[in-house]
């Protein structure tokens, strides 16, 4: 399969950064056992990977802007095009020596996501998609799974953690979805969760409060693989807002219904406790 020039540029940048991350990942595993621990080393690995992506993409498309996890917004002379880049998605996994992390690069044209590349160097898996051109894993076409009912469905999610997210709300979602489905996975890299739904490994995925660079590339993959995506209560998806519920047509609808039920149960419980004055 011949990749487009655009996907070639994105792939080269992702693979070059991925190779640097692989070298650093080896070192992280050594540092795990040292007194100092690998935290500072990992922030540097993250910045190095971002620098590689920035240099590679600026070299071939000097006028295009960027939205990057570390550097933030960099305006380009061309107002139409912007790269959205997460140089290391799954930072916590990387820090802990777990090989579930990626380089994620998307292209936005006039505010629309039009191309996405995600590279997991530890598993040597490269996901590519361009609007209208289909989604691929290592150059083989991928599609969302064909399973249609919740009891067959395996779902990915992100669990809020110390200092982040709506912990109480998530427990309602978890209670609801775990009792209706074949299982839930928490992999720790939103880009790869989306890629796994696109590849038909997971049947769906939901998570709140993600950043544009966590999801932008994965959304292109998902749509090109035939998936559906909205916010958590079925509202139009907006990659700048960061709430994601996705799956194939059937699983997406079923997931959103479950999330709505969870939100209603929470609301009822909150108003009951407010009425009775309990916490
Ligand atoms: P990161 O590894 O690049 O930080 C895991 O649930 C997902 O949430 C990962 O994609 C992770 O991206 C992202 N994440 C971690 N901390 C976050 C934060 N403070 N805000 C938004 N997303 C975050
Ligand atoms: Ca990220």
Closest Cα to atom 5, ligand 1: which residue?
Answer: 188
User: Could you read off the pLDDT of 131-150 as tens digits, one per residue?
Assistant: 999 999 999 999 999 999 99
Q: Calculate mean pLDDT across residues 202-212.
A: 98
Q: What are the Cα distances from residue 111, in Å, to 57, 107, 143, 203, 216?
A: 19, 9, 25, 28, 11
Cα of 92 vs centre of ligand 1, distance in Å, is 8
Higher pLDDT, 194 or 31: 194
Q: Above 80 in pLDDT, residue 68?
A: yes
Ion ligand 2, residues whose Cβ is below 5 A away? 86, 89, 214
User: Could you read off the pLDDT of 217-245 as tens digits, one per residue?
Assistant: 999 999 999 999 999 999 999 999 999 99
Residues near 99 by beta carbon (within 8 Å), at least 6 away in sequence? 25, 93, 120, 122, 123
At 1 the pLDDT is 65
| CA dihedral sign of residues 150, 156, 160, 165 | negative
CA pair distance 22, 87, nearest whole angstrom = 12
Give the pLDDT band (50/70/90) at residue 252: very high
What is the distance between the terminal CA atoms of the chain, rounded to a whole angstrom? 59
Are the CB atoms for 197 and 247 separated by under 8 Å? yes
- Domains of the chain listed by start with CATH number: 5-141 (3.30.540.10), 150-272 (3.40.190.80)
50 C-beta closer than 6 A to ligand 1: no
Angle, CA of 73, 77 and 83, to the nearest 5°: 45
Strand pairing of 154-157 and 204-207?
Answer: parallel
Ligand 1 pocket check: which of 158, 160, 165, 244 to mutate, most ligand atoms within 8 Å of Cβ? 158
Cα of 101 vs centre of ligand 2, distance in Å, is 9
At 201 the pLDDT is 98
CA pair distance 102, 117, nearest whole angstrom = 10
Give the rounded distance of the alpha carbon of 261 from its chain centre: 25
What ligand is nearest to the CA atom of residue 43? 1
Cα of 234 vs centre of ligand 2, distance in Å, is 23
CA pair distance 234, 228, nearest whole angstrom = 10
- DSSP E strands, 144-264: 154-157, 183-185, 204-207, 228-230, 244-247
User: Could you read off the pLDDT of 103-120 as tens digits, one per residue?
Assistant: 999 999 999 999 999 999
188 C-beta closer than 6 A to ligand 1: yes
Are the CB atoms for 205 and 247 separated by under 8 Å? yes
CA pair distance 192, 195, nearest whole angstrom = 5
Q: Calculate mean pLDDT across residues 160-172.
A: 95
104 C-beta closer than 6 A to ligand 1: no
């Amino acid at each position: 399969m011949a990749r487009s020039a655009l996907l070639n540029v994105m792939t080269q940048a992702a693979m070059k950064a991925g190779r640097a991350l692989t070298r650093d990942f080896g070192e992280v595993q050594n540092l795990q056992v040292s007194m100092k621990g690998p935290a500072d080393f990992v922030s540097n690995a993250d910045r190095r990977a971002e620098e590689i992506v920035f240099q590679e993409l600026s070299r071939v498309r000097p006028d295009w802007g960027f939205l990057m996890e570390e550097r933030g917004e960099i305006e380009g002379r061309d107002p139409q095009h912007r790269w959205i880049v997460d140089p290391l998605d799954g930072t916590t996994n990387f820090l802990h020596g777990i090989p579930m992390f990626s380089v994620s690069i998307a292209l936005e044209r006039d505010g629309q996501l039009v191309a996405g590349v995600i590279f997991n160097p530890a598993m040597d898996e490269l996901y590519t998609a361009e609007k209208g051109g289909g989604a691929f894993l290592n150059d083989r076409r991928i599609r969302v799974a064909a399973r249609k009912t919740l009891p067959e469905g395996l779902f990915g999610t992100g669990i809020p953690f110390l200092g982040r997210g709506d912990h109480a709300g998530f427990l309602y979602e978890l209670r609801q979805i775990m009792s209706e489905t074949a299982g839930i996975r928490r992999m720790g890299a939103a880009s790869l969760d989306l890629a796994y739904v696109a590849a038909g490994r997971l049947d769906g995925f939901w998570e709140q409060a993600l950043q544009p660079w966590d999801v932008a590339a994965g959304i292109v993959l998902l749509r090109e693989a035939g998936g559906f995506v909205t916010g958590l209560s079925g509202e139009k998806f907006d990659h700048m807002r960061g709430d994601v519920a996705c799956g194939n047509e059937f699983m997406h609808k079923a997931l959103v219904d479950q999330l709505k039920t969870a939100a209603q149960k929470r609301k009822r419980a909150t108003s009951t406790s407010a009425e009775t004055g309990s916490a």
